[in-house]
Structure 1
Amino acid sequence: TEETALKSIEKVNGMLLNGKKVYVGRFIPRKEREKELGEKAKLFTNVYIKNFGEDMNEEELKALFEKIGLITSLKIMTKEDGKSRGFGFVAFESPEAAEAAVEQLNGKEIIENKPLYVGRAQKKAERQQELRKRFEQLRLERINRFQGVNLYIKNLDDTVDDECLRKEFAPFGTITSAKVMLDEGRSKGFGFVCFSSPEEATKAVTEMNGRIVGSNPLYVALAQRKEDRKAHLTSQYMQRMNNMRSIQHQMSQYMQPGNAGGYFVPTLPQ
């Protein structure tokens, strides 16, 4: 029950286990945690500043930011020789002051042609999460950009190189890249051609699949991502297995025990 759970939390939370303090709390679903973190992220007091140059000292930086609100701490990061690294942190007493500092000073030009950057100071974990999201977004954009325009060509003649491949597919549209895959300088017998639009790629598949180039008939198809190929192969395998099971089931129905202890196959209806 909830009452028992609360008592367990109260009893165990804060206990020492193998020299380490244990935290026990109510389970919070992931969506709730993310929402809570998002709300907390909006409330910040620590501000990250950069692009103020090497000559500005902490007193000058303080004079610029204390007009916004009460400052609890301020630090310019320095090199080993004591010179400014051009960035630092300002901590305000209230989230309102920190937010106002971002709104009023971000983009302000205190050095000619060098706008000041002022933003919420992020924890390392937050920065890493943001970078992961950005990387994943770029990855998906890259996949979508090539979806339906990249062709896979195999059964290439050994004489076909990048230039020859491009020339063969050029009549169907604008080619952004054409590449024959090599192993120690020799053709591996397959390659890729990327068009500028799905319509061009589709036309090339229709016209070029099966065409003889050199001495070999080409196999041309839309290139698939590794995940898609794996899913397709799995689907084909499952379909074959289902067909085999279906055939075995039908055969077992026809194979019936006979009177002499053997088996006979009944006559199928004509």
Structure 2
Amino acid sequence: MAKLYVGDLHADVTNLDLFNAFIECEGLEAVLVCRDSSTGRSLCYGYVKFYHHDYAERAIEVKNHSTLKGKAIRVSWPRRDSDVRRSKPAYVFIKNLNDTIDSAKLEEIFQKFGNILSCKVAVSEDGRSKGCGFVQFETEDSASAAIEELNESEVGGKQIYVGKPSPDEIYTNLFIKNLDLDISEEHLREKCSEFGKIISLGIPKDKNGGSKGSGYVNFENPDDARRAVEAMNESKLGCKILHVARAQQKTERKGVTRKEDRQAQSQLNHAQGFAGPTGSSA
């Protein structure tokens, strides 16, 4: 294997830009920025091919987390989409990071525990660290070892907290409601691919083959999914305002519904306790 995956590309990066970014690496053979087949718009990821595995391995060391057109890019060995869908996410979530720790330093801290598939420090729009991040390992054993050794340890002068993320902290699946009925999967893919690589996407159909007005998107990277929620929720697509959020499991939705029902009943009981027969205060 001498081909590398390059993610988190700026939408304006061209094949020439990608080639120039890697020309310093020995053994460069070819590059490709992946684009939507119908619109030609960048899918914000691509591939770089080398003549030998050793050249590719060295390129990861040199170019991973480097900057291209103002964005830190992610360089790694490629994984097939089927592998991503079958694998169980082995994420760890890190809080209370020193603001001097970027994604490259975070990966350096965690790499001794096993093969890292992705690593990201959350940043604000001005590029400043939010003091938290995530690491996705290839195996659950690696994630467990990292938690056991680094949780409540001191890194960069601050005590960090490392643990398994809650669903609200790390997610890749999004549910989209209030879609125009004439929005196609191709149109939705074009819109969502602005934020990163998509593993799967669909719009459920009714018995007549028409859209049900909702859809789902599964991103490869949780940071891309989070950015998609922030950008697309309450935005307009077609003639309607979208509602975009983390996709919840059926058991989660039932739990939320039961909680809302209990809250509503509690408020009703409270109101009845303070109101007279005519609805005025007792």
TM-score band by shorter chain is 0.3 to 0.5
**Bigger Rg, structure 1 or 2:** 1
Higher relative contact order structure (alpha carbons within 8 Å, sequence separation ≥ 6): 2
Superposition TM-score, scaled by structure 2 size: 0.41
